[in-house]
Amino acid sequence: MAFLAYFLRRLSLVIPTLVGVTIITFTLTYVLPGNPAVVKAGPLVSPEMVKELEKQMGLDQPFWVQYGRYVSGVLHGDLGESASTGRPVLKDFKQRLPATLELTLASLLIALVLGIPLGVQSAVHRDTAIDHIGRIVGVAGVAMPTFWTGLLALYVFFYLLGVAPPPLGRIGPGIEPPHAITGLYVVDSLLTGNWKALGSALHQLMLPSLTLGLSVMAPIARMVRSTMLEILESDYVKAAWAAGIPRRRVIYGDALANAMIPVITILGIVFGFLMAGNAVVESVFAWPGIGNYAITSLMTKDSGPIQSFVLFVALLYVIVNFIIDILYGLIDPRIRLE
Amino acid sequence: MAELSSSGTAPLAPAPASLRLIWRRLRRNWLSAAALAVIVLMAFAATLAVWVAPYEPDATDADAALQAPVLHHLLGTDIYGRDLLSRIVYAGQVDLAVAFGATALALLIGCSIGVVAGLYRGVIDLVIMRCVDSVMAFPAFILAMAITAALGNSVGNVLIAIAITQIPNYLRLIRGEIFRIREMEYADAARVVGNPAWRIMFIHLLPNALPPIIVQATLAMGYALLTMASLSFIGLGIQPPQSEWGSMTAEGAQYIVTGEWWLFLFPGVAIVLMVLSFNLIGDSLRDFLDPRMRGVR
Amino acid sequence: MSAVIEVRDVSVRFATDFGEVEAVDGASFEVREGEILGLVGESGSGKSVTATAILRLIRRPGRLTGGSIVLGGRDLARLGEDELQKVRGTEITMVSQTPRTALNPLITVGEQVARLFVLHAGLSKADARKRAIEMLAMVGIPEPERRARQYAHQFSGGMCQRVMIAMALATSPRLLIADEPTTGLDVSTAARILDLLRDLGHRTGASILLITHDLGVVATTCHRVAVMHAGQMVEVAPVRALFAHPAHPYTRALVRSIPRIDCEVAMEPIPGAVPSLLNIAPGCRYAGRCPWVEERCRQIKPGMTEIAPDHLVACYAVEDGRARVV
């Protein structure tokens, strides 16, 4: 019951935010950039025809009416059309979403798998070499623009060493993608036992996911380090030492479990970094995801996909943060039971 | 150990500080000094580019096209034989101006709205905070991208876009500080003496809010530079022939497959150096101005 | 009675930014079979550090710089980390001064007790859970089965301390170190916790090292007392002897500082403060506050002398008879 109240309280905070987000994206899409009717009609059209188009598109109606139509469109999955592909944006999105998802998950995995142990070791061996390495990684990771890290990785591993494939998408040329189940090539090729596709998919995924993973590893490692430092000094960890609980279990069991609570709260921010980094990294590695789609649309001044991408990311961001809040409540008995 | 430190009676004797401590302080200051030097140097070079840059940024030289770094082209040249160092120095004008402008704009607007929210509370505060929540519901870079795309592709719009994403930081900081001061007893005491509310606010607000705002603004310079560079890397904001570090990196990216590494590397190094410097200074300013935050990062 | 643990000349130093600090300077005492030894002193006197040293849990920037800690024929000061881990939680256990925060907030209370049985006694999970509930019942927790499924934040301070005691006694240790176990508890809860410690210590045969700054607690709970001042052991005596005939000038001041209801002696604060442990003189650390101080006190630390059966004092003035024991 206590948890239900917590859940409802969080939910009540999410709804106004969602409304605010859609107002912002609506404003950016329909109100600001010139006259959509003119854009749609092209330069060679008479003012009367523009007026006619405006009427058709409902642009002569008041802001709130237009906003209402926009929201109901979004709710029905209508994100408009892409001017360059001529297809509904939603369709293009669905096709490209698995690529983005695969890259995001792989990067998150790398960031967690490297960042958490680095943070733990930095805290346990404070002021030693590993702590200094961690600090350098942290400072550098925040200061290096993702696109530059990606290019550097390409130059070193593709051009100089030749161990990485050229940046041309999710699977090597001439290799048939695995039968689609989840849409994630790595998972699908594992499920179907398609080893050739698996190897190629992993190979292609290597540099982009490392680039993106390393960029978000820094905040994770930093957070783990500072909370671990605090928790290693806590009374219950001291009590665990005194009770003869083995070292590894104290550090990776008692201490880390408690350190994960604050770490989970920054996963929301990390997710924001991931989404932002995604767009840039996808364009560096020609990764066929929604970020790349949005950036390509920027070049062609195709506003539909861009604004839909922004809306999509913001909605996802709000939802992910909401889920994280709920998760936080589930993990910490002080919230779950109080 | 807790026992030792909790005995408040043991004064810290003015004993000869250990070499370790001296080294630690020196190193910290040395780093900050180096960071400050990098920023000042870059700011001067960019401002005085006309005199400092060895070449005209747009001077082409067909004989020296795609020259790897040599003595008379320290950072090499591009396909038109333009000197990379000169172009980086000139590009610094745009980068630093936008970062500084966006930070200043965000600071001004954020603090003003923050004061309004803090002083009026109630419905006004509620509306303002819902707006802040909505802005913060976007990853900053994505929002900046959307705003630039909507407003139109220009450097000025990039500046506005970056500023908008940073307004909430200052707004929340000021508002929180005002709320905190309201709670404090000395504010009550001052009211009893007959000082008007706004006067109490500003007397206490400035010294309390200034240090975190200075820290925030320094770190924000780094973020603004990164956002600016990323936006122009994906083709937003900067229109050729104007150049900027991010767009230069994007141009250089095409030459990776042919091995002309300096073209993408050096503009990126400029970004990293500047962002790193702002972050380092921000961190040590935080240590210096805000002892409460010490050791947090 | 034979000694369970013998602490001899234990010294602990901490490296600080301002120089080395000797937090414990050659402390010696033993805890005997079945007894409760009180370790008293002002805050900062090194009591807790001494306890931490016994468990060999002093961490950087501190280190154990000398002495021996003999338990069952082995010197803990010379054991490796692996062997120490087997001693901690089985032969020596600890109850801390912060019961509310000494329990892991994410693990149920029952699980925290049970895992000790799994770890140290090799019981199966089910058996361990059963034993854990028995232990909780033994330390006086009502409805132990239900309470075992709860978390620390659902327990009061006194109840948390009972759980800590259950954990400390779960493995039938030879020595239980209780570090200010009643700090932060209200008076009646504190009294009940002390009763429980005394009673269970007696029943399980565990000896107890009770660290406290409260002489009242010592008087009601302990058999013998060891008094520490600024990291040095100044007096060890049976409780009655200590209160009736305090010998060391510091102990005398301490005993006099107890507010009493039954007689009209005014409470006397001890003059001066615990000295800074930085750049301290080599001799007796009470020299700066002592009415009988003489030159050699500042030069050479006085050794422990037996002035009455079982009553040891480290003071030249007492040794020489200049300060007559009253």
- Establish if C17 touches chain B: CB-CB under 8 angstroms: yes
C295 pLDDT higher than 70: yes
Interface A:B, Cβ pairs < 8 A: 154
pLDDT for B225 equals 95
- Residues C51/C211, Cβ–Cβ less than 8 Å: yes
Percent of chain B with pLDDT over 70: 82
pLDDT band at B295 (very low <50, low <70, confident <90, very high): very low
Q: Do C96 and A239 touch (CB under 8 A)?
A: yes
pLDDT band at B6 (very low <50, low <70, confident <90, very high): very low
User: For residue C74, what are the β-bridge partners?
Assistant: C71
Interface of B with C in 1-60 (CB under 8 A): 1-4, 6-7, 9-13, 15-18, 20-21
Nearest by CB to C85, from A238, A244, A338: name it: A244
Instruction: Work out whether the CA dihedral C279, C283, C285, C287 comes out positive or negative.
Output: negative
pLDDT band at C270 (very low <50, low <70, confident <90, very high): low
Of the candidates C208, C242, C205, C238, the residue with the CA atom closest to the CA atom of residue C223: C238
Average pLDDT on A259-265 reads: 86
- Establish if C48 touches chain B: CB-CB under 8 angstroms: yes
DSSP string, B58-84: T---GGGTTPPSBTTBTT-B-TT--BH
Instruction: Work out whether the CA dihedral B259, B225, A209, A172 comes out positive or negative.
Output: negative
Half-sphere CA count of C306, side-chain side, radius 13 A = 5
Percent of chain A with pLDDT over 70: 93
Task: Identify whether B256 is part of a domain.
Answer: yes
* C129 vs B70, residue with greater confidence: C129
Provide the 10 A C-beta neighbour count for residue A70. 21
Chain B positions in Cβ-Cβ contact with residue C64 (cut-off 8 Å): none
Task: Identify whether B280 is part of a domain.
Answer: yes
> What tens digit of pLDDT does each residue of C23-57 get?
899 899 999 999 999 999 888 788 999 999 999 99
pLDDT for A41 equals 57
pLDDT for B115 equals 87
**H or E segment at B239?**
none
How far is the C-alpha of A197 from the C-alpha of A195, rounded, in Å?
5
Task: Identify whether B10 is part of a domain.
Answer: no
Of the candidates B107, B93, B45, the residue with the CA atom closest to the CA atom of residue B244: B93
Q: Do A279 and B142 touch (CB under 8 A)?
A: yes
- Residues A195/A234, Cβ–Cβ less than 8 Å: no
**H or E segment at C93?**
strand C92-95
Task: Identify whether B7 is part of a domain.
Answer: no
- Establish if C23 touches chain B: CB-CB under 8 angstroms: yes
pLDDT for C8 equals 93
CA B184 to chain centre: 32
- Establish if A241 touches chain B: CB-CB under 8 angstroms: no
How far is the C-alpha of B16 from the C-alpha of C271, rounded, in Å?
29
pLDDT band at C110 (very low <50, low <70, confident <90, very high): very high
Q: Count Cβ neighbours within 10 Å for each residue of B62-92 and write b for 16 or more, e otherwise.
A: eebebbeeeeebebbbbeebbbbbbbbbbbb
Chain B positions in Cβ-Cβ contact with residue C46 (cut-off 8 Å): 3
Chain B positions in Cβ-Cβ contact with residue C18 (cut-off 8 Å): 12-13, 15, 17-18, 21
Average pLDDT on B248-267 reads: 90
Lookup: tokens for C198: 């005394």
- Establish if C42 touches chain B: CB-CB under 8 angstroms: yes
Percent of chain C with pLDDT over 90: 51
Chain C positions in Cβ-Cβ contact with residue A245 (cut-off 8 Å): 89, 115, 119
Lookup: tokens for B239: 């229109």
Q: Do C18 and B15 touch (CB under 8 A)?
A: yes
How far is the C-alpha of B48 from the C-alpha of B45, rounded, in Å?
5
pLDDT for B52 equals 81
CA distance A180 to chain B (A): 30
> What tens digit of pLDDT does each residue of B49-93 get?
888 888 888 877 777 777 788 888 888 888 887 888 889 999 999
Among the ranges A69-83, B176-190, C54-68, C128-142, which has the highest mean pLDDT value? Answer: C128-142
Cα–Cα distances in angstroms (integers) from residue C247 to residues B271, C212, C286, C288, in the given order: 73, 20, 14, 18
pLDDT for B231 equals 93
> What tens digit of pLDDT does each residue of A206-261 get?
999 999 999 899 889 988 998 999 999 889 999 999 998 988 999 998 899 889 88
pLDDT band at A153 (very low <50, low <70, confident <90, very high): very high
Report ipTM (2 d.p.): 0.86
Q: Can you tell me whether residue A183 is helix, strand or coil?
A: coil
Instruction: Work out whether the CA dihedral B253, B255, B256, B261 comes out positive or negative.
Output: negative
* CATH at residue B24: 1.10.3720.10
Task: Identify whether B67 is part of a domain.
Answer: no
pLDDT band at B16 (very low <50, low <70, confident <90, very high): very low
Interface of A with B in 266-305 (CB under 8 A): 272-273, 275-276, 279-280, 283-284, 294-295, 298-299, 303
- For residue B216, give its domain range: 20-61+72-293
pLDDT for B2 equals 32
pLDDT band at B294 (very low <50, low <70, confident <90, very high): very low
Nearest CA in chain A to B248: A148
- Establish if C94 touches chain A: CB-CB under 8 angstroms: yes
Percent of chain C with pLDDT over 70: 92
- Establish if C45 touches chain B: CB-CB under 8 angstroms: yes
pLDDT for C21 equals 85
Whole-number CA gyration radius for chain B:
24
Lookup: tokens for C20: 């080395």
pLDDT band at C325 (very low <50, low <70, confident <90, very high): low
C202 pLDDT higher than 60: yes
A141 pLDDT higher than 90: no
Q: Tokens 């994280």: give the residue.
A: A324
| Pairing, β C224-229 against β C36-40 | parallel
Q: Tokens 């000197």: give the residue.
A: B83
CA distance B220 to chain A (A): 12
Of the candidates B247, A123, B1, B15, the residue with the CA atom closest to the CA atom of residue A115: A123
Q: Which residues contact C7 (CB under 8 A, 6 or more apart)?
A: C27, C28, C29, C30, C50, C54, C67, C68, C69
Q: Do A236 and C105 touch (CB under 8 A)?
A: yes
C148 pLDDT higher than 90: yes
Give all chains having 3 or more CB-to-CB distances under 8 Å with chain A: B, C
How far is the C-alpha of B73 from the C-alpha of B260, rounded, in Å?
14
Instruction: Work out whether the CA dihedral B143, B89, B275, A214 comes out positive or negative.
Output: positive
Among the ranges A190-199, B96-105, B244-253, C43-52, which has the highest mean pLDDT value? Answer: B96-105
> What tens digit of pLDDT does each residue of B166-180 get?
999 999 999 988 888
pLDDT for B29 equals 74
Spell out the alpha helix ranges (H) of chain C.
47-54, 81-87, 109-121, 125-138, 144-147, 157-169, 187-204, 215-221, 239-244, 249-256, 295-299, 316-320
Q: Tokens 């990216």: give the residue.
A: B253
How far is the C-alpha of B253 from the C-alpha of B246, rounded, in Å?
11
How far is the C-alpha of B105 from the C-alpha of B113, rounded, in Å?
12
Q: Do C104 and A236 touch (CB under 8 A)?
A: yes
Average pLDDT on A284-303 reads: 87
pLDDT for C117 equals 93
A312 pLDDT higher than 80: yes
Q: Do C104 and A258 touch (CB under 8 A)?
A: yes
How far is the C-alpha of B167 from the C-alpha of B114, rounded, in Å?
9
pLDDT for B293 equals 45
Task: Identify whether B11 is part of a domain.
Answer: no
Task: Identify whether B14 is part of a domain.
Answer: no
Q: Do B10 and C44 touch (CB under 8 A)?
A: yes
pLDDT band at C128 (very low <50, low <70, confident <90, very high): very high
CA distance C175 to chain B (A): 22
Among the ranges A192-196, A314-318, B99-103, C168-172, which has the highest mean pLDDT value? Answer: B99-103
Q: Which residues contact B58 (CB under 8 A, 6 or more apart)?
A: B82, B241
DSSP string, C286-325: TGGG-TT--HHHHHSPPPPEEEETTEEE--HHHHHTSS--
- Our separate counts of H helices and E strands in chain B read 11, 0
Of the candidates A111, A109, A134, A110, the residue with the CA atom closest to the CA atom of residue A121: A134
> What tens digit of pLDDT does each residue of A78-133 get?
877 777 777 888 888 889 999 999 999 999 999 999 999 999 999 998 878 888 88
| Pairing, β C19-32 against β C62-71 | unpaired
Q: Compute φ and ψ for C185, nearest 5 degrees.
A: -100, 150
Average pLDDT on B140-157 reads: 89
Nearest CA in chain A to C153: A334
How far is the C-alpha of C298 from the C-alpha of C294, rounded, in Å?
7
Average pLDDT on B263-283 reads: 92
Q: Do B18 and C62 touch (CB under 8 A)?
A: no
- Establish if C120 touches chain A: CB-CB under 8 angstroms: yes
Task: Identify whether B235 is part of a domain.
Answer: yes
User: How many domains does one find in chain B?
Assistant: 1
Nearest CA in chain B to C41: B3
Q: What is the pTM (predicted TM-score) of this model?
A: 0.83
Q: Can you tell me whether residue C67 is helix, strand or coil?
A: strand
Q: Compute φ and ψ for B193, nearest 5 degrees.
A: -70, -15
